[in-house]
Structure 1
Amino acid sequence: MATAENEIYDATLMGILQKEGQIAKFLDVVMGFLYRRTDYYHIMESRDSKLGFPQGVAQRLLIQAYEKYEKLSEKRDNAKDTRTVIPSRPDQKDLKNKKASDVTNSSSQNPPPTIQTSESSEKTPTKNTETLNSQQVFQENPESHNGAMRDGYRWAQTLTDCDLRIEVPSTVLKAKQVSVNIKRKHISASYIDEENQVVELVDSDLAWDVNVEESMWSLVPKDCIHINLEKVQERWWEQVFVEEPKINTRKIEASVSMEHLDDGAQSAIGKLMYDERQKKLGLPTSSEQEMQNMLKKAWNSEGSPFQGMPYDPSIVNTSGMNSQFK
């Protein structure tokens, strides 16, 4: 297990934790190391760049690491809860009179833990399965954010691309064991098992066209085939594959990142943000600065009554000029 492999670092990490004394300070040391000595916080400038991560990926890695050990913790706690608990011995009279009712009550109050599979949940839908398949649950997982978790795969999306993760067994360790074929509106993926047999994972039509040349895939050993699909059309997908249930795109986070806007829109938003910040600081906005620059040029121009005098904005009434710059 990965947790056992990581134990070789326990002595070093424990020394840091004991010195800092608090979890928050310990985490600050770790994140500070990533900030100072790695490109963890650097945003990748282009697809060809070897430095940093795409927007949002670094944060997803942190969340995934937390959720990995959160799941292990839940499994450990659930294992404790399912251990047999021997109660104090009851009075023989009570045991004789209430034996049947006690057993019934015990089983109804503490039912044995069950594992729901996708097959059983489809046949007998319950409130629990509805919750597990709700968009709120998908949104909380970075690997299904704005997307969904399905049987055998999960997907997330932005306005311009889609991250598809197709699950593979723990025996898949190298990319040469995997075959992936991405077409404009179709994806097939398979792997070679321990008996040298080809096992098909996905062979389905996509709901929307993708740019094949700009799409790529990689293997996360023992976990998944990670496929990044670039959308031909900028829009929110309701599904990845045509046979898949559609999600409700009204319940996703449909905001558009600044990086996906054109230069004109980014410039306009940047100007608004700058002006708002200037107002809070009591400083002139970009429009007011522009107006002052124009007045400075006119102050010493030919025919100006102020020519040769130091520029003094207090004697110029600019209240009527502000509107044309807003």
Structure 2
Amino acid sequence: METNLEYNKYDEIFTSILEKEKSILGFLSSIFNFLARRTDFYYVHDGFHTDMGFPPGVAEELVIKVLRKCDPKNWSLDKDEINNEIMCSTVAQEVEVIAQEDEQEMENVPEISKENAESNSAVKSDIKDNRSSFPEDYEPPLIVTQKNSESYNGAIRENYTWSQTIMDIDVTIKLPPDIKSSKDLKVTLNPGDICVACHNGDIILKDKLPFKIKTIDSFWSLSENRLLIHLEKVQERWWNKLLNKEEEIDLSKIDCSRPLNELPEDSIAKVRELQWNQEQKLKGLPTSDEIRNIEILKKAWNAEGSPFRGTEFNPNILKK
């Protein structure tokens, strides 16, 4: 592998970042934050719309491969050989998008079926008794998403644009050039309607809203000859239009995802478990369901009436 020459041209840029961040962690955070904000690196496609992002797990696999590629111990390897390994791994991951369904937990513990035995035989037999199926202190990697477009989940209209999350709406309105300060405007935000007018009475924007807003939590400000209005929704729902007279947007085409910290606690726990299971699969380690199954098997191993009672626990014999 060519070690330095081909990447020397970036040294000045990276050195500058490293000096400002003052740590390797800060440096790497800057790199991945850039990928999150300016590329589709973190976008996980569903196997149908493959023009953006990667299948599940491929982005992480690429990072691991590049990490190994840049290890000084591997500099003696052929560059094409390493790049080939990265590309082949990516293709393999794409094939695995059609994933196998997770096998169900055993319903009857004393009765060890062949199907469950085959499932559990794949689990490493050296799992410790005190190992929990899912670590409570697990924190998934922080993924920063870019959602600051003025028309994100909204629309661009002739004199204004609007964007939304499930909880609020941001409106950007173009103002006449003679509007210099807030004194030149009169903005009225009511629960069911909105009105923006010049101080002389000329209407810039006025209409009823399709749903109610919280006026006490809504506000507006001026920025570079633009009026910025923030509206808090009364109900958590997606709006198909900002104003009643406006053409509706197709809600089936917007990004309906929500930040993890906005979900109920039980949903957050489930999402984190799914993320942890995905990481376990990529590492070739058992998932939480597989760990739970093996723990159930251990309890049943020495249970009354078990043919394995008194023998050393060994799930591998179940596949015979």
TM-score (norm 1): 0.46
Greater Rg over alpha carbons, structure: 1
Which structure dedicates a bigger proportion of its chain to helix?
A: 1
